[in-house]
Amino acid sequence: MQPITKTDLKLPLIHRGKVREMYNYDNDKILMVATDRISAFDVVFNEGIPYKGAVLSTLSKFWFEKTKHILPNHVISTQIPPTLPSYLQGRAMIVKKAKPLKIEVIVRGYLTGSGFKDYQKTGSVCGIKLPPGMKNGDKLPEPIFTPSTKATEGHDINISEKEAEEIIGKEELQFVKKKCLELYKFGHDYLLPKGLILADTKFEFGELPDGSMILIDEVLTPDSSRYWSKDKYDEGKLESMDKQYLRNYLETLDWGKTYPPPTLPKEVVDNVSNLYLKVYKQITGEEFKR
Ligand SMILES: Nc1ncnc2c1ncn2[C@@H]1O[C@H](COP(=O)(O)OP(=O)(O)OP(=O)(O)O)[C@@H](O)[C@H]1O
Ligand SMILES: [Mg+2]
């Protein structure tokens, strides 16, 4: 299958994100299309990753269904009307139009990535003091909620709960914190027996016109989460089954992490594609239907 890196539908385009394209479906609905684009360090690559958009959408659908008892979500339908191009099947869904919260909601159960860098400098992550002597990949005493800004340009910056409260409101923050910790715990406990460790993940919350808060965007996917192989973890190795694989490859290049992106070799594209298909199977127990 040829990857799809851009769509041009006969619907009003609301927003072209790094991965998803949002079209106005009607007043209160959005057609959300996941393309096969991939980004890292906030740079979008020119190469598409075969099956990626469909894997992300199908996995999100899987998790939205499984987590709706914790928090309702934006999914209305994953059936695309026959009037729209057939290549959208599997990669698009019709969702409730919401007002996205102005913060990024991240939960970490393990110390790694920017959290580990923060810890090395300050002994804390987002102002949360942690025990001394922790190493990259260590499990945290308990999962922590680490909000960050949602930069429209440039990189997101970690902020304290206090700062997050000032942006979205005190009650809203307490609600979001409680829900995202529950969602993380659900995902973590679901994945462990499947041989995966959910190290951390990002959620997006949105507000409906009636004031209620729902889960939007994508959920617990290899783009928004860090998954590690449990077997390898038990041997003391961090084997990433997610977008980290691409970041690790990019770290071997002499590239400044700004536009223009380097060309991704076919081997890397194929490896990412196969990794996403593999993790799909590991999570759902079923082969991805291509
Ligand atoms: N139900 C929804 N209602 C309104 N907006 C939504 C909904 N679900 C997701 N979004 C928004 O749609 C966009 C999805 O696009 P994508 O994930 O590609 O963006 P991104 O690269 O993460 O961020 P950016 O939009 O800043 O480029 C995000 O801005 C997200 O907040
Ligand atoms: Mg996004």
CA distance 221 to 38: 13
Which atom of ligand 1 is nearest the CA belonging to 95? 1
CA of 17 to the centre of ligand 1 (A): 6
Classify domain 13-96 by CATH architecture.
2-Layer Sandwich (3.30)
Instruction: Cite the DSSP H helix spans in 160-265.
Output: 161-168, 170-191, 230-234, 244-251
pLDDT at 153: 74
As a whole number, mean pLDDT of residues 81-91 equals 94
Residue 152 clears pLDDT 80, i.e. is over it: no
- Name the closest-CA residue to atom 23, ligand 1: 17
Cα→Cα distances 275→57, 99, 171, 191, 241, Å:
16, 33, 39, 16, 6
What is the per-residue pLDDT across 157-169, written as a single tens digit (0 to 9) for each?
Answer: 889 999 999 999 9
Structure confidence at residue 278 (pLDDT): 98
Report which ligand 1 atom has the smallest distance to the Cα of 150. 26
- Which atom of ligand 1 has the smallest separation from the CA of 42? 21
What is the mean predicted confidence (pLDDT) over 226-246? 97
Residue 18 pLDDT exceeds 90: yes
Q: Find out whether the beta carbon of 216 lies less than 6 Å from any atom of ligand 1.
A: yes
Q: For residues 285 and 143, give the distance between their C-alpha atoms in angstroms, rounded to a whole number.
A: 26
Q: Does ligand 1 lie within 6 Å of residue 22's CB atom?
A: yes
Closest ligand to residue 151's CA: 1
Confidence category of residue 99, pLDDT binned at 50, 70, 90: very high
Q: What is the mean pLDDT of the segment spanning 11-23?
A: 97
Structure tokens given for 231: 């077997």
pLDDT (average), residues 59-86 = 97
Which of 18, 56, 152, 153 to mutate to test ligand 1, by most ligand atoms within 8 A of the CB atom? 18
pLDDT at 188: 98
Is residue 1 over pLDDT 80? no
pLDDT of residue 41: 95
Q: What is the pLDDT of residues 121-141, one digit of tens each?
A: 999 998 899 999 999 999 999
Nearest to 259 by CA among 34, 22, 3, 46: 46
**In this structure, which ligand is nearest to the CA of 20?**
1
138 Cα: distance to centroid of ligand 1 (angstroms): 31
226: confidence class by pLDDT, cuts 50, 70, 90:
very high
* Residue whose C-alpha is closest to residue 114's, from 174, 155, 65, 173: 155
Domain 99-261 has CATH 3.40.50.720: no
Mutate to test the pocket of ligand 1, among 57, 103, 216, 259 (most ligand atoms within 8 A of CB): 216
Q: What are the boundaries of each domain within the chain?
A: 13-96, 99-261
Predicted confidence at residue 154, as pLDDT, reads 75
Residue 108, ligand 1, Cβ within 6 A: no
Nearest to 91 by CA among 8, 21, 24, 187: 21
The predicted pLDDT at position 155 comes to: 82
What does pLDDT average to over the chain?
96
Rounded-to-integer distance, Cα 239 and Cα 147, Å: 25
pLDDT at 186: 98
Confidence of residue 240 (pLDDT cuts 50, 70, 90): very high
CB 146 within 8 A of CB 113: no
Question: For ligand 1, what atom is nearest to the CA of residue 18?
Answer: 21
Predicted local distance difference test score (pLDDT) of residue 49: 98
Classify residue 21 as left (phi > 0), alpha (psi -120 to 50) or beta.
beta
Task: Indicate whether 156 pLDDT > 90.
Answer: no
